[in-house]
């Protein structure tokens, strides 16, 4: 009330002093239904302000009087509850309309008009969907002890924001949440992102069966994930020692060692660590057993000249099927790796006749260039550009 009176006094003083100081108080004539009212602008302004102030005082007094009676209190409470209910319903509509930011604002207003733990909990949900960990934490606390153990969404939002700043700490928090919610789809999906960011490939390896179940990754995408997880894991063990790497490989069940993706990741890790001969043996064994396809081996450039047996196997396959595109490309890879550019150009030339492509012609140009035939190399590069 005091601030209203002070505001009225300030406005009136300003309205009077301003015009008087300028020497022009102004003039107003109002005519309505045969009645004429003449006054100055200052006078009209003062009367209007005083009328508003008096009306505010009257309304305030009426509210106080009503609050003294049981019926009055009931009417005021019902009025407040109706307003809160309308705002609450608006918040629900906004939440259903995928607008969690506005929903958070509306639900928080509803809570202030009619405090209720359930509204606070729903506000926390809206804040979580809006990825606002601060507000979500506040409203979760407002919801009370009943909701203390129902904070998975809040933890997910907190970890998601933490992983950008501190992947190691996010990794720690994620492992704790996984222990509590090992089969939650949302927890597993976030765990995939967190453990990739922190480089925790062992945890990701353990999660792969569950991730296959809950993620919406296409089969090819999941294969790439599986390959990366095992590759990084093998490389980490190989950097410790060759024995550790071998033990990690042998610790896998035979079914997993027969899996094409895992075998390729092991061969690629061996090559990455410089153990080309063992890598070639792993590839050769997979090819002989039918566990690996030459196209997949080619895509990772795992055919190399460090194994005479692998070269013999590729040549034997080409004797049976001279136009096999995958083994022609494999032969070219091995020949280039062994700096046998004459053999490489023969394989690539035949491959270009069967399946011409920019990549094949570019490699053919490289082979001709290495052989010192600049004209044929230039022709091959032109073909590469044409394709």
What one-character DSSP code corresponds to residue 305?
Answer: T
Segments making up each domain of the chain, as ranges:
1-68, 339-387
- Report pLDDT digits (tens) over 171-181: 999 999 999 99
Q: Kindly tell me if the per-residue pLDDT of 211 is higher than 60.
A: yes
Do the beta carbons of residue 303 and residue 264 sit within 8 Å?
no
Tokens of 7: 């505001």
The yes/no answer on whether domain 339-387 falls in CATH 3.30.530.20 is: no
Distance CA 99, CA 95 (A): 5
Q: Kindly tell me if the per-residue pLDDT of 6 is higher than 70.
A: no
Using alpha carbons, list the distances in angstroms from residue 264 to 3, 14, 227, 301: 78, 85, 8, 11
Q: Kindly tell me if the per-residue pLDDT of 76 is higher than 50.
A: no
- Report pLDDT digits (tens) over 13-66: 555 555 555 555 556 666 665 666 666 666 666 667 667 777 776 666 666 655
6-35: burial string, b at 16+ Cβ within 10 Å, e else: eebeebbeebbeebeeeeeeeeeeeeeeee
Rounded to two decimals, what is the model's pTM? 0.67
What does the pLDDT read at residue 47? Answer: 67
Instruction: Name the pLDDT band for 75 (thresholds 50, 70, 90).
Output: very low
CB count in 10 Å sphere of residue 293? 14
Distance CA 139, CA 128 (A): 10
Using alpha carbons, list the distances in angstroms from residue 126 to 88, 135, 277: 12, 9, 57
Instruction: Name the pLDDT band for 72 (thresholds 50, 70, 90).
Output: very low
Distance CA 170, CA 164 (A): 9
H or E element, residue 32 = strand 28-32
- Report pLDDT digits (tens) over 352-375: 999 889 999 999 999 989 999 889
């Amino acid at each position: 009330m005091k601030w209203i009176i002070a505001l009225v006094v300030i406005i009136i003083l300003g309205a009077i002093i301003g015009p008087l100081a300028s020497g022009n108080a102004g003039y107003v004539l109002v005519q309505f239904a045969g009645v004429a009212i003449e006054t100055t602008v200052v006078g009209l302004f003062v009367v209007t302000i005083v009328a508003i102030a008096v009306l505010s005082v009257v309304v305030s007094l009426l509210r106080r009087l009503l609050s003294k009676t049981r019926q009055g209190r009931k009417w005021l409470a019902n009025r407040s509850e109706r307003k809160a209910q309308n705002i609450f319903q608006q918040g629900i509509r906004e939440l259903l309309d995928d607008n969690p930011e506005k929903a958070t604002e509306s639900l928080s207003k509803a809570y202030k008009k009619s405090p209720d733990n359930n509204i606070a909990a729903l506000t926390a949900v809206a804040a979580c969907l809006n990825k606002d960990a601060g507000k979500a934490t506040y409203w979760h606390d407002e919801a009370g002890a009943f909701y203390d153990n129902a904070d998975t969404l809040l933890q997910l939002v907190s970890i998601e924001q933490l992983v950008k700043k501190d992947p190691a700490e996010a990794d720690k928090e994620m492992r704790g949440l996984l222990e509590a919610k090992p089969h939650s789809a949302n927890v597993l999906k976030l765990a995939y992102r967190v453990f990739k960011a922190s480089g925790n490939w062992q945890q990701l390896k353990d999660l792969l069966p569950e991730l296959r179940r809950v993620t919406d990754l296409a089969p090819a995408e999941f294969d790439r994930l599986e390959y990366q997880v095992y590759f990084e894991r093998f490389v980490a063990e190989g950097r410790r020692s060759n024995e550790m790497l071998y033990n990690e490989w042998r610790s896998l069940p035979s079914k997993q060692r027969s899996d094409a993706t895992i075998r390729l990741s092991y061969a690629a890790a061996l090559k990455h660590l410089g153990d080309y001969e063992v890598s070639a043996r792993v590839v050769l064994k997979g090819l002989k057993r039918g566990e690996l396809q030459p196209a997949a081996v080619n895509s990772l450039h795992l055919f190399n000249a460090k194994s005479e047996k692998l070269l013999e196997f590729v040549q034997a396959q080409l004797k049976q099927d001279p136009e096999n595109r995958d083994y022609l490309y494999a032969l070219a890879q091995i020949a280039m790796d062994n700096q046998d550019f004459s053999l490489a150009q023969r394989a690539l030339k035949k491959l270009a006749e069967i399946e011409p492509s920019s990549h094949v012609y570019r490699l053919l140009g490289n082979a001709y260039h290495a052989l010192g035939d600049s004209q044929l190399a230039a022709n091959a590069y032109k073909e590469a550009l044409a394709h």
